[in-house]
């Protein structure tokens, strides 16, 4: 998220300065909406989460203690709101892998080995490929998707991601690795097919 959001005076925000809060909205709302959309895959739900995030933030600001940055705090509110909607939609089923340590042997079973890096940029970033990239994120279980979105799409550090999600840093690292390996696997199968198409042309 944009660094300049964290330069807005915390004192002004806490004092209810509407102009400072508006600046915060302009600087951060694109990111908050995108995170909500990635978690929920529904534009209306994402917009609801966006609005609820800033309503809650505005109310809670006077008590904000500043233990994390304002942006990390906003992400935390937004992710909690989005996950609450996910749970409402589907009664929570605990994934077996959710709290298990990383097991390299089972993760590496039947790993696809296709060196798709050599595909031309136009192929890797074609509109069809972009559609596949989006779909591959949606296919991740929510607990992995949230970590991937924060770290790799929003560019947050491991520490910030852990603060925003209320997870330990080790837990974030494990989930990040799992999510990246799964996406790599999906992309390998997809781009492997593209490489065959290219070689047959």
Partner 1 sequence: MSAHIHTPRCSQLLGSLSEYIDGELQADLCAAIEEHVKDCDNCRIVVNTLRKTVELYEQTTNEQTELPDAIRERLLLKLDLDDFIKKN
**Which positions lie near partner 1, rule CB under 8 A?**
18-19, 21-22, 25-26, 29-31, 33-34, 47, 50-51, 54-55, 58, 102, 104-105, 107-108, 110-117, 124-125, 130, 133, 137, 152-153, 155, 158, 173, 176-177, 180-181, 183-184, 187-189, 192
Q: Counting beta carbons within 10 angstroms of the beta carbon of residue 107, is it exposed (0 to 12), middle (13 to 18) or buried (19 or more)?
A: middle
Assess contact for 115 and 190: CB atoms under 8 A.
Answer: no
Residue nearer to partner 1 on the CB measure, 92 or 157: 157
Number of Cβ atoms within 10 Å of the Cβ of 118 = 10
Residue nearer to partner 1 on the CB measure, 80 or 185: 185
Retrieve residue 174's tokens.
Answer: 């494990």
As measured in angstroms, the least distance from the Cβ of 90 to partner 1 is 25
Residue nearer to partner 1 on the CB measure, 15 or 92: 15
Nearest to 144 by CA among 97, 188, 90: 97
Retrieve residue 158's tokens.
Answer: 């491991």
Residue nearer to partner 1 on the CB measure, 46 or 83: 46
- Which pairs count as long-range contacts for 118-121, CB under 8 Å and 24+ apart, including other chains? 119/191, 119/194, 119/195, 119/198
Looking up tokens 């799964």 gives 182
Residue nearer to partner 1 on the CB measure, 83 or 148: 148
As measured in angstroms, the least distance from the Cβ of 152 to partner 1 is 5
As measured in angstroms, the least distance from the Cβ of 93 to partner 1 is 26
As measured in angstroms, the least distance from the Cβ of 63 to partner 1 is 18
């Amino acid at each position: 998220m944009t660094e300049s959001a964290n330069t807005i005076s915390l004192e002004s925000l806490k004092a209810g300065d509407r102009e400072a809060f508006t600046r915060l909205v302009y600087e951060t709302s694109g990111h908050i909406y995108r995170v909500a959309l990635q978690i929920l895959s529904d534009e209306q739900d994402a917009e609801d989460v966006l609005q609820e995030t800033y309503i809650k933030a505005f109310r809670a600001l006077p008590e904000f203690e500043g233990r994390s940055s304002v942006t990390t705090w906003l992400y935390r509110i937004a992710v909690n709101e989005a996950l609450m909607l996910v749970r409402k939609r589907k009664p929570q089923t605990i994934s077996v892998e959710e709290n298990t340590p990383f097991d390299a042997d089972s993760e590496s079973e039947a790993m696809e080995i296709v060196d798709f890096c050599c595909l031309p940029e136009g192929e890797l970033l074609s509109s069809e490929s972009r559609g596949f990239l989006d779909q591959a994120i949606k296919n991740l279980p929510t607990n992995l998707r949230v970590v991937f979105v924060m770290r790799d799409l929003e560019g947050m550090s491991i520490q910030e991601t852990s603060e925003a999600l209320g997870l330990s840093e080790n837990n974030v690292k494990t989930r990040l690795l799992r999510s990246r390996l799964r996406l790599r696997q999906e992309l390998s199968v997809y781009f492997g097919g593209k490489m065959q198409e290219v070689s047959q042309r």
